[in-house]
Chains A and B, each alone.
Chain A
Amino acid sequence: MVSDIKVSIKNLYKIFGPNPESVLGEAKAGMSKADLLEQHGHVLGLKDVNIDIQARGIQVIMGLSGSGKSTLIRHINRLIEPTAGEIIIDGQDVLAMSDEELLNFRRFKASMVFQKFGLLPHRTVQDNAAYGLTIQGMDKDEAIEKSSYWVKRVGLAGFENHYPAQLSGGMQQRVGLARALATDAEILLMDEAFSALDPLIRTDMQDVLLDLQEELHKTIIFITHDLDEALRIGDDIAILRDGAVIQQGSPQEIVLNPADDYVRDFIKDINRARVLEVSSVMDSKKPRSGVKVDKEMVIEEALQIATANDYKPLIVTEEGKAVGSVQFDAMISAIARPEKDAERNPEYR
């Protein structure tokens, strides 16, 4: 994928309280969230956040409750004004936009899906899905015609005339997704969009999203506090703690090299076989015979293949060319949970 940066967040600070500017200096000097609250009565929402978000990928932002995820995503469409910093989207400074430009940015360029759905209870599924288009100024019939495609795409055909209260949570969020997709915005902001759904429905919705993304290639910023979800859908993951980004990288990088105990604690229960790729455990030997696997294959799949082939080493290929091999034992030890995880004490919770 050609990497170009769609959204660039630079030195972003957000402080909640009566007079944020007055304590910005302290925050910039590195005062902790707890101290800032105790000594100055201000809440440090975001602290020196720097994230470059690739176009056409899924950027996950992860963190525990209160770590500032919602605050961060709301800066991107300026539902929240920062205390300091920059947000550049397609070379344009979001903070410099006039009211008119901001309205148009929200109408055409970035749409949003919410944890609590945020549907209009007095409008039908159809009208809710068409909401963004009517706000754009599109004529009602046209808006409904256009959005009905998305209603079908998210699997709600036949429910057009239902009211949100008549739908299950999963179906309501499908409406939320259809509403966001209908505006054709290039950027999709999703704030814990699937967190309110039960696990099976959540996996369903992730599939819906991934399928759509296959063909739509939007720039998706996806907030979650669930690592499995993050690993499953994220191309890149940024981890927030107390308003600061403590690690950013691909799922594999984060699992292999957790930046600190906070991250380590996050990843301790995940299924490593499903995240780690063969490339992380391969050696440079090139056996003459063996079954070929791509270096980006996850270990879980490679193990299947190795098992079916008498546990012999597999040949690792990159774009069809052999680049090394992977041993059965190496794969097994890679997916075992690292020793020290067991005794650590997550005192920061």
Chain B
Amino acid sequence: MRKTWLTPGGVHPPENKQQSLTQPIGELPIPDRLVVPLSQHIGAPSIACVKVGDCVLKGQKIADSAGSVSVAVHAPTSGTITAIEARPVAHSSGMTAPCIEISNDGLDQWIASEGIADFEHTSPSALLSVITEAGIAGMGGAGFPTAVKLNPGFQRPIDTLIINATECEPYITADDALIRERAEEIIEGVRILSHILGNPSNILIGIEDNKPEAIAALRPHIQDTGISLVSFPTKYPSGGEKQLIYILTGKELPSGQIPADIGTVCVNIGTIYAIKRAVVDAQPLISRVTTVTGKACAINRNYNVLIGTAVSHLLQHNNFDQQACSRVVMGGPMMGFSLTSEDVPIVKTSNCILAPIYQEIPEDEPAQPCIRCGMCAEVCPASLLPQQLFWYSQAKDHDRLQAHNLFDCIECGACSYVCPSNIPLVQYYRNSKGEIKTAQQEKVKSDHARERFEFHKQRIEQAEQEREAKRAARREAAKQAKSTTAGSGSAADIVAAAQARAAAKKLNPEQQQAKLERAVASAEMRTQKAQEKLDSATANNDTEEKLNVFSAALTAAQQKLDQAKARLAEHK
């Protein structure tokens, strides 16, 4: 047995995992329409490479990855593109985002492609681009592009590859089911990863001891592979990346650093399975295993769900009882977020749809005062003092919040879970984090503005000095001239000479008109450009802030144009 380390805190909520594990992973009928969001990962949203009306095959790329931190998106089934527009997506704020809608043609016809059977003789960089092109982003929750994670660069050699099979949240069994049924493919995926990372010396699969079937399924496949299967006692949140690294290696990830900084890469089971599929079978990420559970659904089980399937489709096929349901959660009961609409699509990170009844997860009770009982601090896996954070969060005391390491809070919810006063602690922390970030951005902005202002002031002062110097020089020159021309020239001569100089500087009417015409033309061009920018921003659904900036720029350009035109008319 390998040694494991014990994390502080943690809670043991009822697991509620058995109900969704009674049947194998199922398939659902393909819905008539699939809505695939362009941004299912962290980083730049993918760029659509199809048009409305195009016919696509299953697995065909419909959006390109945009830049280095991004991934591609593929058609989950064959059909016609019927819309590319903003739709409601699964997000805690219930927002809309650009999506591609595909109308299913009922054929479910795959695009022809060929996989890499011999990955060991393929260069890591080629495999990484396969992974990006297959649209793979972390499927455990955050959705960080996997190829970026697997390519930490020379200065960060990786000696430990951690496979996160913890799945510590109650109710969710997607990874468990996947391991039970596809253990061999998962281990093949691990070998691909190991090859990409230059065969790190430690390859550890971390799994909680409440999944004996999954452990038994993996065992035969890791014989003589150098992969260690490490099981440890079940406790929430052992599956947090920082917690798992500590449990398996005894190393703490220093605050503000990423695992690669300490030579570690952490990948979750779903992602590994997707990598194997992409590399060996040439199947891009177009489906994932999602747990549908909670007593408001008559059937609880795991499904292989096409990305873009509406949550309502899943619920209906499991005899969802909306009356009895207290909320619909995407993700687990500890960290998932409740959906405001069931029309949102399943995305690459949707590991669970939880539809509990009121007896299972009742309405939140009103919060009582904090009695500082410290139960929250007892369970915090990051060794924070949640009650103090709560106190300072209420007081908006940003300094204290940061001194109490607010940003090391992983929002696991263990503190709120135990709080006897029902205080929604995590909500306070999220708000405060947001506020502090905004304040910092404002500060950066105002710093910039101040710098700009100071620079401007300096320039004005400099110009003033130069002018002063010139004036002094002229005075000097005039004095000298006076003394030298005293006698020979008269004041009248000087005036005449000055007039002549001014006349020479003045343009003749034709030149003047040409100049004004040029000004009008360039103002026209600028106006046009501003208009284009605004249009494209509107089409891209940019933030309101940006739209405001562009429209302000447009108005300014138009005003300039009007002025230039007016001056030209005047001249004529």
Same assembly: no
Q: Give chain A's interface residues, CB within 8 Å of chain B.
A: none
Q: Give chain B's interface residues, CB within 8 Å of chain A.
A: none
